[in-house]
Amino acid sequence: YQRRVRGTLSTVEPSPPRTLITGSLGQLGLTLAKEMRQKYGRDRVVCTDIRKPPKTVLQSGPYRYANILNKGGLEEILVENRIDQVVHFSALLSAIGEQNVTLALQVNIEGFHNIIDLCRTHELKLFCPSTIGAFGPETPRNPTPDLTIQRPKTIYGVSKVYMELLGEYYHHRYGLDFRSARFPGIISATTPGGGTTDYAVQIFYDAIETGHHECFLAPDTRLPMMYISDCIESVIQMMECPAENLTQRTYNISAFSFTPEEIVAEIRKHVPLEVTYKIDPMRQKIASTWPQVLEDSNARADWQWDPKYSLEKMVPYMLDKVRLQLAKDVPPPKELF
């Protein structure tokens, strides 16, 4: 917008958005907060979770306790901190969700409903990640397009389809600026949190610590993956994209796909590694219903999605990050950049 200064018109840049991140002590939250604080300002990003944070988190910027099942408490934080946009990371992941369906329903569905309702009330932009777990065995697996049969077979996947559809409904019915990206497996040096793709993180720890990894998926199980740097950039990029450029509310995004035996081969180029396979029937069953390759041309066209890391480029970075994490000898989560 413009304002008059001493008889002339001067363009005033809009203030950077004030962002609230739920579930910020998980795999993605602190790294996103660090990037956003560098870009928008330290006090313009408020981290929230239900756990007591490490001192490093408290020293890095605003942190608030927030239970997403407490709608009134959430609203108080949104209003008091003059929040403009929400990144909603709080969720129970696929394998953990199957072990506690009731809690998964509360966190993934009731919690999301509280968030989206408050964003509608206060006219906030909302980003909530979806997942390859939103697809099911009837879905075309290679490649998997944006718009296709979904029908997931886990409560995690069911809750994410609910999230996608409710977000799209709120957009069309109320004008809510809802945005979502279907994440593949995310690889970072943060300790795994109960997902079906966790082996792709644990294998780096095992390579450094013991030289042996016991894999819970079959060696030929192909799944789409992404390094955390690209994942964080995708959130910022999608949130900053002008609304008129978006032709849909939920997009596939991906960087590369691999099998356990392929990542083993790549790691062995850098360090010795022995691998045995002890298949986890539940996780293998879940993985067998998920896409092998995500088709993400719409994201590339609409908001210039362009991942920087290939499997070959990611592996040495991950080995270095894991060595650093182990050397710190402090509990995760950590800011890993």
Contact present, 119 and 88 (Cβ < 8 Å): no
CB 284 within 8 Å of CB 197: no
| Gap between the Cα atoms of 98 and 109, Å rounded | 15
CA angle 259, 324, 191 (to 5 degrees): 50
Which residues make Cβ contacts (< 8 Å) with residue 83, sequence separation at least 6? 18, 19, 20, 46, 77, 122, 124
Task: Give the whole-angstrom CA distance, residue 160 versus residue 133.
Answer: 8
Looking up tokens 């045995």 gives 276
Active-site annotation, residues = 156
Q: Which residues contact 8 (CB under 8 A, 6 or more apart)?
A: none
Task: For strands 19-22 and 274-277, give the pairing.
Answer: unpaired
What is the C-alpha separation between 312 and 136, in angstroms, rounded? 29
- Return the exposure string of 41-74: e unless at least 16 CB atoms fall within 10 Å of the residue's CB, then b: eeebbbbbbeeebbeebeebbbbbebbbeebebb
Q: What are phi and psi of 163, to 5 degrees?
A: -60, -45
